[in-house]
Amino acid sequence: MGILESKLPTSVSISGREYPIRSNFRTMIKFEQLMQDPAVSDQDKAWLALNLFYPEIPENIDEAVEKMLWFYRCDKRDNLYTQKTKKKARFADRIYDFEYDDDYIYAAFMAQYHMDLHRVRYLHWWKFRAMFNSLNEDTQFVKIMEYRAVELDKVPKEKRAFYKRMKMLYALPLSKAEEQRQNALEDALLNGRSLEGLV
């Protein structure tokens, strides 16, 4: 099933029964934010995500989670590059954040699609994701993502200072949990305390 081939899903089949899902883009933005929150335990994430996605949680939890992830990925499998690098990826490697970058995302959709996301009551997640992935490089948001993603050691020396400045200027803020961990690490280093449990 693809975005061009058939009706976009608003329910999923689990153990022979159709379960309605919350398919609006805002729900899946909340889902992504939840999954990236290091302050929430994995067990709590699973339960909160199921409650967010399903108006009625299916009895078969394993299949319910599988279908929820299938929907989030827009019926796409990870490509080989993503599979190889996923283990290396860290929370800090994000190049966008729906909450922090909301104004850039809003402006990009307005500029490119003439779509006021604030006024949109419903937009299927798969449509939103297709549009999000196709934002052009003229938008400030795409430029910012490129600054965040660039590997400085692969940039020509004459451009490195510029990209380093841009990376710092547009860096995503640390999560509260990561900020607390870094503060504790800094405090331990400055005061000669043990680093056990901090690194």
Burial class (CB in 10 A: 0-12, 13-18, 19+), 63: middle
> Using alpha carbons only, how large is the chain's radius of gyration in Å?
20
DSSP structure class, residue 19: E
**Residue with token string 């994995």:** 42
- Predicted confidence at residue 179, as pLDDT, reads 59
- Predicted confidence at residue 38, as pLDDT, reads 85
- Predicted confidence at residue 14, as pLDDT, reads 97
- Predicted confidence at residue 148, as pLDDT, reads 96
Q: Report CA-CA distances (Å) from 42 to 71, 79, 89, 97.
A: 19, 24, 17, 20
Distance of CA 23 to the CA centre of its chain: 16
What global pTM score does this model have?
0.81
Q: What is the pLDDT of residues 180-198, one digit of tens each?
A: 666 666 766 777 777 666 6
**Cα torsion 113, 67, 177, 147: sign:** negative
- Mention every residue, 6+ apart, whose C-beta is less than 8 A from residue 94: 36, 148, 172
Cα 21 to Cα 136: distance, rounded to the nearest angstrom: 30
Residue ranges in the chain whose pLDDT is less than 70: 1, 78-92, 175-185, 187-188, 195-199
- Predicted confidence at residue 1, as pLDDT, reads 62
- Predicted confidence at residue 3, as pLDDT, reads 76
- Mention every residue, 6+ apart, whose C-beta is less than 8 A from residue 131: 109, 113, 115
- Predicted confidence at residue 94, as pLDDT, reads 85
Angle between helices 61-72 and 25-35 (to 10 degrees): 110
